[in-house]
Structure 1
């Protein structure tokens, strides 16, 4: 399976609203914790190691030095 980076959300505005609502009332530490939990849940749902590595590389691109290639 390849990483799909094309727009693919069926209801993007509703998703964004729910994402913002998920953070409402949380301090920075709790907000980071809920983000981490969401990421891990979604990674588990995706499951494919290569797809997850592609997603990590894509997310990090332009933010910092590229991730080292996995052996």
Structure 2
């Protein structure tokens, strides 16, 4: 069974952060939430492991 990676595991942090901020440009609150939800579902699909996704959800709630 795989485990959630909790150490930094990506390069280009600043570029990714900027893209996440820009995701919401010119969107009202409802459209912003829809875009955030779509992104979340796309990334969950990419992870493809229910246990890892559920662990990440638990950790995010802390």
**TM-score if structure 2 supplies the norm length?**
0.92
4+ runs deviating over 6 angstroms: none
In 2, the alpha carbon distance for the partners of 1:47 and 1:27 equals 30
Query: What runs of 5+ residues in structure 2 fail to find an aligned partner?
Result: none
> Relative CO higher for 1 or 2, CA cutoff 8 Å, sep ≥ 6?
2
Worse-matched range after superposition: 1-10 or 19-28: 1-10
Q: CA RMSD in A?
A: 0.8
User: Which structure would you say has the larger Rg?
Assistant: 1
Matches within 5 A, 1:11-50: 11-50=12-51
**TM-score if structure 1 supplies the norm length?**
0.81
In 1, the alpha carbon distance for the partners of 2:22 and 2:14 equals 12
Query: What runs of 5+ residues in structure 1 fail to find an aligned partner?
Result: 62-71
Matched, 1:60 2:61: yes
Give aligned pairs, total: 61
In 1, the alpha carbon distance for the partners of 2:56 and 2:29 equals 24
